[in-house]
Each structure stands twice: as C-alpha cells, then as structure tokens.
Structure 1
Amino acid sequence: MLRGNRKSTPKVVDGTVRKKNKWTQSPDYFWAPTPRMVQVDRQRPGDGYKHVLSKNDVYRFLELLPDWNCLAVGLNAIVLSPGGHDMAGCYYHLGVIEVCAWETGHWIECNEGFYNDHREVFERLGVPCEAMDDGYYLCKFDEASIRDYQLLHILLHELGHHHDRMTSRRQKKIGRGEEYAEDYALRYEARIWDAYHREFRR
C-alpha cells in the first residue's frame, strides 16, 4: 500500500506478487493453527523511522480475526520492515506481508487523492487532518492512531491481497488488485471494530 506522501513512487509489476529480501516458501509456516504460531519478524526501522507496532501487538491483533483458519493458509510471515520508499505496507512475496516503520515525527503529508480515499478511515480513527496551501494534507497522527491505522487498515489491506491470491485458481497472483484489498480491509475492520476497541483501546 502506497502512503501517498511526497516521496517517489516505486514501480508496480502488474498484478504479480514480487519477491524481496531473503524470504523463501517454508513448509514450517505454510499453515499456523493459532495466530501465535505465525512468524512475526521485527527489522531495524531505518534512519528517520521507528516501529510503533510491537510483535505482541501483531499477535494480539491476529487473535481477533474470526476466520483465522482460512487466512492462515499460505501465510508465512508478517514483517515489521524498514520505513521509506513511500510504502506503508506491502505483499511482496508469496505469503509474506510487510508493515513498514513510521516516520519519527508522527505527522505525515499526503496528496489530495490519498486523503480523499482515506478520509473516512482517518475520521473514524480520530486523526485530525488539515488542507495545506499547496494541495497536500497534513495528517496529525499520534502513536495510538498510528497503531490503529497500521493494524486496522494497513495490515488488513495486505491480508486482503493475501486472501485475493489464496482464493485465485492457481494461488500465484493477486489479480483483483488494490480495490479488492481496500474493500476487504474496510469490511473486515467493521467486523472486528468492537473487539479491537476492547483489546486495544480500553
């Protein structure tokens, strides 16, 4: 998922899942009976970035998902990866999801298109946003709203790509693209909203 800020946009390779880093398909993680058995890795965030999410946050969140037995198939790892490259999260490799580190200043600037696409999400999570003179929007996240956004939207969006691939005939492509993943995230967020509040916002 692109962040929509002022940085350059990385290349997109059709609808084919891209390989990255050292990840390889591992039968040890092909199906995890419980969320705690999924591999969650936390890499160095990189200069100017930090991880707001912990590995335990990810595990606690996965335990809220009602259809885990379906989602776990083919899910090899969730990686808290370095920030940068205009990416908030990605589904680069078969069964590997990345959630990227956040800028240390918390607040982000995004373009008008990205803001309009995510305005309802920002409002629901209580993120104040204001228009700037140059057409960009300043979104005033804090640590709590970053955590909520990364779990309830970014991670669910990337799980949408995973679900897209695993429900395809050959299970090798994410053919239905960004719109499918975004709709998946919004629908799933509504399903677990109350449970999420009890677990993370009490």
Structure 2
Amino acid sequence: MRDGRVQKKHRWDYYFERYDLVEGQTEMPIFVEPPLRRFRQPVTAAELGTFVKLIPDWEQHAEGLRCLVLGDGDHDCYGWHDEGVICLDAWEGYEQPWRHAFFEEHRAILDRLMVPYHQEEGARAVTCSFTRRTACAFQLMHVFLHELGHHHDRMATRGKIHSPSGEQYAEDFAEQLAEQMWDDYFRAFGL
C-alpha cells in the first residue's frame, strides 16, 4: 500500500519458494535485500527482530507467517503482505510527498513521531520530512502492524488464503496494536 492506495502485486512467489521457515527454527527468518539504487532501508534486521518481540501475543500473530523481508524498494509501496510474507520496502529518500488525504489519515502518527511536514501554497502534496529514526518508527509502528493486520485477517478465514476485510481492517488493527505498544517502543528504540 502506498499513499492510501493498494498497489500492484509483488514478487511474493519468489519469497514463497525461497524463504521457508526451516523445521525446528525458533525465530522468524528475516531476509534483507540490497536496496535499489538511490533507495535506503530505514529498518535494520536487528531492529525488526527486536520489534517483533515487543508485539503482544507475537507468537499467535505470527502463526502462518513464513518470513519477514526488508525489501529493495518500490516507488509506490512502503510495505506489503502476501501468502505469509511481510515485507517492509526501502525508501527513495526521507522527504516523502504525500497526497493530502493520506497525510490526514496518518497525521496522528506523524505528530507522535514529531515528523515535520509542510505544504507549499498551491501544492497538492504535503511533504513529510522523516529522519532515519522516524522513518524506522513509521515503518515498524504503522506499516508493519498494518501488514500484520492483513495477515491476521487472512488467518481468520477458513481457507487462510485471502484477506477479505480490506484496508480499513488493517488500519484499525495497526492503530489498536500500536496504542498498546508505544511505551515499549520508545523504551526499546527511543527516537
């Protein structure tokens, strides 16, 4: 999802075939792709590993997940979930132009993370000025939890194939879980 819109399908089959949870493995595998040219990944594998341990009932939420991926980047996507893979994509810079509607939907988290933002007169986009730390926090405390919401939705269906409840379910899931986690996040990561 990027700017509030569902994007094209990703290479989930690549991960599905390559990144299986090995029998007896106790921790969720985290795979790191080298970022595309001009992209940078705001989240490290160590940070992601620490973060998932902060999630209440992580073992239950992780049921059915095959792996976590720090992706190479995408112009149209911050992260995605498909078939038991959650990916957080690299960013093309930390100055992020957001459509006004997307900005308004996420203003509360930007304010909580103290991300400066501005809108030039007559501009259609609001520019959000992230740092690596605030981009990491946004990726973990919102994007990852949003994609985990899609996974949770999928696992609640009988066939465990689709996430029928859509974007609003994932947004609500992320917001509710984040409210339980902010204090632990700031203790573990600061800002």
TM-score (norm 2): 0.90
Q: Which amino acid aligns with 2:101?
A: G
2:79 pairs with 1:89 = yes
* Gap runs ≥5 in structure 1: 13-17
1:172 partnered with 2:161 = yes
Please report the RMSD computed on the Cα atoms of aligned residues, expressed in angstroms. Answer: 2.4
8 Å contact 1:25–1:76 — kept in the other structure?
no
Closer/same/farther in 2, CA of residues 11 and 72 from structure 1, 3 Å limit: closer
Find 1:43's aligned residue among 18, 33, 37.
33
Matched to 2:15, the amino acid is W
Deviation at 1:3, TM superposition (A): 3.5
Distance 1:32 1:98, change over 3 A: farther
Q: Deviations over 1:160-202 (max 9, x none)?
A: 0000000112111100011000111111111011111110007
Task: Name the structure with the higher helix share.
Answer: 2
Query: How many residue pairs get matched?
Result: 190
Match of 1:195 in 2: 184
Letter in 1 for 2:126: Y
- TM normalised by structure 1 equals 0.85
SS of equivalent residue, structure 1 residue 196 = helix
Relative distance call for 1:87 and 1:26 in structure 2 (3 A) is closer
Name the % identity.
33
Whether 2:18 is the aligned partner of 1:23: answer no
Aligned to 2:107: 119
Deviations 1:139-161 (A, max 9, x none): 01111100110100010110000
Q: Which runs of 4+ in 1 moved over 4 A?
A: 25-28, 30-34
Higher RCO, 1 or 2 (CA under 8 Å, sep at least 6)?
A: 1
Q: Residue 67 of structure 1: which of 45, 57, 61 is its match?
A: 57
Q: Distance in 1 between the 2:101 and 2:28 partners?
A: 35
User: For structure 2, which runs of at least 5 residues remain unmatched after alignment?
Assistant: none
Pairing 1:145–2:145 present: no
